[in-house]
């Protein structure tokens, strides 16, 4: 067994990473094509507020982040569909609002800076056994929801009006997609960190969109690009002592750049 796989924390990080690396780009493809790329960023900052709240209150931060993030997702979706505000303005409000709450809470409880740092930037040593079970369990939920609603999600993403005409429950599925995104954000946060979570959703997705010849192929290609980035990023982070999230995202960007060259070659 290679040295990297001999440590329990590394096994957990890799397992969690593979789950996140599968879910994040799938959500990302739907978000990118609906011009909602920023929603993951907004939700991750809302989640950060939840983490800070959990650390201040001394409650399992992961759970608080989950609650806060799902509520944030519902709030975003309500405001976005109410038509009173532009969609991207809503996202900007939640992004900066979440960050502001987090910063205030951090200034209240000064003692948890080290812990917070791992949430901001991700850490492979941070995945506890309990975290791993949560990541795998929630990941499976998100994946099965996507598989079950695959054709509805495609129809809504491609042409929302026609989907509505067919009698597909568009509003409910949109809300569910936003909630699933918030779940994906919270699980990804442990490994990539708050600030880079949306990158793992968006970058492999845009890489795949440029190359794939069908929607199904786009999803598969996005997952492949993301898993490649997660594994190489983690291995690099382990051997060269780098920030995991940053290393993963840099590998994803390398693949994205390669997609430009590949496309030009065609």
Partner 1 sequence: MTISEISPTASTAVKPTSVAALERITFDYGAERVLEDVTLSIEPGDFLGIIGPNGSGKTTLLSVLLGLRRPTQGGVRLFGTDVAAFRESHRIGYVPQKATAFEPRFPASVFEVVISGRVRRAGLGRRFGPADRAATLDALHTVGMQDVRNRLIGELSGGQQQRVFIARALVTHPDLLVLDEPTVGVDIEAQDRFYALLRALSLQGTTLVLVSHDIGVVAREVTRLACLNRRLFFHGEPGEALRSGALDNLYRANSVVVTHDHHHHGRSSRYA
CB 166 within 8 A of CB 155: yes
Burial per residue of 3-24, b for 16 or more beta-carbon CB atoms within 10 angstroms, e otherwise: eeeeeeebebbbebbbbbbbbb
Residues 215, 220, 227, 231: which binds partner 1 (CB under 8 A)? 215
Q: Decide if residue 217 touches partner 1 (CB under 8 A).
A: yes
Burial per residue of 223-237, b for 16 or more beta-carbon CB atoms within 10 angstroms, e otherwise: bbbbbbbbbbbbbbb
Q: Decide if residue 224 touches partner 1 (CB under 8 A).
A: no
Residues 7, 158, 239, 260: which binds partner 1 (CB under 8 A)? 158
Alpha-carbon distance of 244 to 217, in angstroms, equals: 28
Alpha-carbon distance of 58 to 37, in angstroms, equals: 32
Residues 209, 227, 231, 253: which binds partner 1 (CB under 8 A)? 209
Residues 216, 239, 257, 262: which binds partner 1 (CB under 8 A)? 216
Alpha-carbon distance of 245 to 227, in angstroms, equals: 13
Nearer to partner 1, 58 or 167 (CB): 167
Token representation of residue 209? 């969109």
Nearer to partner 1, 78 or 216 (CB): 216
- Shortest reach from residue 143's CB to partner 1, in Å: 14
Give me the DSSP letters along 180-229: HHHHHHHHHHHHH-GGGHHHHHHHHHHHHHHH-SSHHHHHHHHHHHHHHH
Q: Decide if residue 152 touches partner 1 (CB under 8 A).
A: yes
- Shortest reach from residue 88's CB to partner 1, in Å: 16
Q: Decide if residue 159 touches partner 1 (CB under 8 A).
A: yes
In the chain, what is the straight-line distance between the N-terminal and C-terminal CA atoms, in Å?
Answer: 40
Residues 4, 164, 236, 242: which binds partner 1 (CB under 8 A)? 164
Alpha-carbon distance of 182 to 66, in angstroms, equals: 8
Q: How many residues bind partner 1 (CB under 8 A)?
A: 27
Residues 84, 110, 151, 266: which binds partner 1 (CB under 8 A)? 151
Place of tokens 């079950």: 148
Mark residues 108-147: x for contact with partner 1 by CB under 8 A, - for none.
----------------------------------------
Rg of the Cα atoms in the chain: 18
Q: Decide if residue 218 touches partner 1 (CB under 8 A).
A: yes
Q: Decide if residue 103 touches partner 1 (CB under 8 A).
A: no
Residues 59, 141, 166, 239: which binds partner 1 (CB under 8 A)? 166
Main-chain phi, psi angles of 119, to 5 degrees: -75, -35
Which parts of this chain interact with partner 1 (CB under 8 A)?
33, 148-152, 154-155, 158-159, 161-168, 208-209, 212-218
């Amino acid at each position: 067994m290679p040295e990297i796989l001999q440590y329990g924390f590394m096994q957990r990080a890799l397992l969690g990473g593979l789950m996140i690396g599968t879910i994040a780009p799938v959500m990302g493809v739907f978000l990118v094509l609906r011009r909602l790329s920023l929603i993951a960023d907004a939700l991750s900052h809302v989640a950060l507020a939840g983490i800070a709240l959990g650390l201040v209150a001394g409650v399992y931060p992961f759970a608080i982040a989950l609650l806060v993030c799902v509520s944030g997702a519902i709030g975003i979706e309500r405001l976005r569909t109410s038509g009173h505000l532009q969609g991207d303005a809503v996202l900007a409000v939640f992004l900066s609002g979440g960050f502001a709450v987090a910063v205030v809470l951090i200034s209240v409880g000064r003692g948890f800076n080290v812990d917070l740092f791992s949430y901001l930037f991700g850490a492979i040593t941070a995945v506890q056994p309990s975290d791993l079970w949560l990541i795998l369990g929630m990941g499976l939920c998100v994946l099965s929801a996507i598989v079950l609603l695959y054709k509805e999600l495609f129809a809504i993403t491609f042409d929302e009006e026609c989907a509505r005409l067919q009698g597909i429950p568009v509003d409910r599925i949109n809300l569910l997609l936003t909630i699933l995104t918030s779940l994906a954000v919270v699980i990804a946060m442990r490994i990539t960190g708050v600030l880079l979570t949306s990158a793992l959703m968006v970058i492999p997705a845009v890489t795949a969109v440029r190359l794939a010849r069908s929607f199904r192929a786009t999803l598969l290609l996005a997952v492949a690009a993301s898993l490649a980035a997660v594994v190489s990023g983690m291995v690099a982070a382990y051997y060269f002592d780098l920030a995991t999230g940053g290393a993963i995202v840099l590998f994803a960007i390398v693949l994205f750049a390669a997609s430009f060259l590949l496309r030009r070659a065609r």
